[in-house]
Structure 1
Amino acid sequence: MSATRYRRFLKLCEEWPMDEFKKGRDLGTFLRQRVALAFREGENTQISDPEKCDQMYESLARINSNVYRERFPRVMDTSFTGVTVEECKVLLSGSMQQMQQMDEEKKGLWKTLIQRFSSKAPEEAAEKASEK
């Protein structure tokens, strides 16, 4: 019986989509790793709790086949923050690290502008910046 479970999980792993933008953080990758750990011996793996295993498979299969997405359709394509799906993908992708580096560079420019246009003497502005 565990051979059947193993084959079902393998088929689910094949069907599960992978997101190239989230390398190492993708749910599909995580799922594949967990199946490999759970079924170390392949078809010969002994399952300690078959009911829990079947329940887990059914839950993952429902998520993969978009049962809940169809049952509870979204009215809008944005969240309460107003962020669109595309913006969420960019935020969650690996390119966020690049954006953070750009933000740090912008902070350097911002501090420079504040120092230039500050009404205080440059020495006082530098002291206040170092206190923060």
Structure 2
Amino acid sequence: MSQHYKRFLAILEKWPVDKTKQGRDLGQFLREKLIQDYNITSTSKLPKNAEKQLESLENIVKNIHHDKYLRKYNSTSTGLTGEQCRQVLSSEFLEYINNEK
């Protein structure tokens, strides 16, 4: 269990919390899941698929698929860049849109 816990902590070090997505951030969700699944005071066993989850998260953090399958263009299907998508998905922008309605 401690090996899985250390691997999960290493992933979290590379996955910062995005303050612009309060309550909707994947980094925050992963931290809460770590507390839930790896409760140190708990004697419960690890989830059945913990190893597979860790491998998948490590692949994302290490950009395995991004590097393996290079993209020709830097835009998304919407035509926006990654930074523009982050701005559109921020809590401030969503609040602005809701206020405009």
Greater Rg by CA: 1
Number of residue equivalences: 100
Q: Which runs of 4+ in 1 moved over 6 A?
A: none
Identify, as 1 or 2, the structure richer in helix: 1
Q: Which residue of 2 aligns with 1:25?
A: 24
Structure 1 residues 48 and 62: alpha-carbon distance in aligned structure 2, compared to 1, 3 A threshold: closer
**1:81 counterpart SS class:** coil
Gaps of 5+ in 2: none
Preserved contact between residue 11 and residue 58 of structure 2 (Cα < 8 Å) = yes
Deviations 1:79-121 (A, max 9, x none): 22222223211110012212442x34xxxxxxxxxxxxxxxxx
Secondary structure class of the residue paired with 1:95: helix
Comparing 18-27 and 88-97, the one that deviates more: 18-27
Over aligned residues, Cα RMSD in angstroms? 2.1
Gap regions ≥5 residues in structure 1: 105-132
Mapped pair 1:72 → 2:69: yes
Contact 1:22–1:92 (CA under 8 A) maintained in structure 2: yes
Structure 2 CA distance for aligned equivalents of residues 57 and 48 of structure 1: 11
| 1:7 alignment counterpart | 6
1:90 aligns with 2:87: yes
Q: Residue by residue, what CA displacement relative to the aligned partner does 1:17-56 show, whole Å, maximum 9, x if unpaired?
A: 222221221111111111110011269552252xx21111
2:37–2:47: 8 Å Cα contact kept in structure 1?
Answer: no
**TM-score, normalising length: structure 1:** 0.65
Residues in 1 aligned to 2:36 and 2:87: alpha-carbon distance in whole angstroms? 31
Distance 1:42 1:27, change over 3 A: farther
